[in-house]
Structure 1
């Protein structure tokens, strides 16, 4: 039983390096696939996220996990999450990890290139418009895919402070 509570320095370093690598791989994949892969989930999406977690955890814990290895891996995951929080406070560094909010609708027109880039279907925009209590796409001044994967809708004709849209990517190239 004592083997559950002990860990060699080499194993501890291996767990930390493995955990950092798998964490960074996860961030890169989420960045490539878009933040929507972890928000606004269907039951299939939820099952995939659980599987992601299992793969992340199992990889971080090496072949034969012990309590000590689990503690090191969990501490490393929390440390990486804390580091990510610090990075997000610096705009340039944050852009390496998180996508900028992206304009999906402008003046009642769908921006299809942006929707493709963000992996957002017309149905998702339609749902956001309905949630905003609007009745037609023409009623939408702006619809923005936020960093957290939700879609914000601003009514057409609303006076919008430019500061509110300063961080929003307006074209597929940005």
Structure 2
């Protein structure tokens, strides 16, 4: 039993590491070779639980990983990219469905309409383009007269609000995130103390905005404290 449990732990760990090496694109896009590699690795990773020749399985995992890396390099060539990845297909153009492209892509009209509704476009006439991407997702470009107004359309200049960076998560300092804003842990503890939280364990979640170093604290008890637009040390300066 202990040998079996050890085998499970070993194979699980190896599979996680190998799939991680495939890269984030394998999960973000799931092209044909990405999906094939993941399925093969999952199958090979489970097979040793029934197969005693463990070395053969590791050899198979290595081969699949090398094949995937090879395919990711090959798709950099334009003609191979078209062959292995495919090209986008325009399913709707100027509010009209391209029936031939729809049939050729084996994408049903029901699925297309459902995707448009999920994207907030129940009327096809409001869609300038609907493009079926090689990864299976549909990109929707709306007509100009249905595009939501933005400050840019009104020639308004908006002040940059900054990005809230998590500096405390479940009572623990996120040192790398603190370093991103050019500060250190001692500085953060002083700011939390000035906000009324000398014990960092009382802070469930805290963020600092990168633009003005505004501190926001959440104790996890239903309340949120915004510690001003400036931190205490900046105000003193």
Name the counterpart of 1:87: 74
> What's the TM-score once normalised by structure 1's chain length?
0.54
CA distance in 2, matches of 1:149, 1:135: 20
Partner of 1:81: helix, strand, or coil? helix
1:157 and 2:144 aligned? yes
More off after superposition, 66-75 vs 123-132? 123-132
CA distance in 2, matches of 1:73, 1:93: 25
Counterpart Cα distance in 2 of 1:97 and 1:69: 28
- What is the CA distance between 1:66 and its match in structure 2? 1.4
Is 1:108–1:138's contact at 8 Å kept on the other side of the alignment? yes
Query: What displacement does 1:72 show?
Result: 0.8
Q: How many residues align?
A: 109
Sort the Cα spacing of 1:140 and 1:73 in 2 relative to 1 into closer, same or farther, 3 A.
same
* Structure 1 spans left out of the alignment, 5+ residues: 1-33, 39-48, 159-174
5+ long unaligned stretches in structure 2: 1-30, 146-237
Residue 84 of structure 1, CA deviation? 1.0
Structure 1 residues 66 and 107: CA distance shift in structure 2, 3 A: same
Q: Deviations over 1:30-68 (max 9, x none)?
A: xxxx96xx7xxxxxxxxxx9xx759x75xxx9xx76111
Distance 2:54 2:122 in 1: 55
SS in 2 for 1:120: coil
In the TM superposition, residue 156 of structure 1 has moved relative to its aligned partner by 1.8
Question: In proportion to residue count, which structure has more strand?
Answer: 2
Which stretches of structure 1, 4 residues or more, deviate above 3 A after TM superposition?
none
CA distance in structure 2 between the aligned counterparts of 1:73 and 1:143, rounded to whole angstroms: 40
Q: As a proportion of its length, which structure holds more helix?
A: 1
- Residue 75 of structure 1: aligned partner: 62
Mapped partners of 1:53, 1:127: distance in 2: 31
Q: Secondary structure at the match of 2:69?
A: helix
Counterparts of 1:1-174 in structure 2, within 5 Å, are: 57=44, 66-157=53-144
Change (3 A) 1:131 1:70: same
Per the TM alignment, residue 131 of structure 1 is displaced from its structure 2 partner at its CA by 2.1
User: Matched residues in 1 for 2:95 and 2:88: separation?
Assistant: 18
TM-score of the aligned structures, taking structure 2 as reference length: 0.40
- How many angstroms does 1:85 deviate by? 0.8
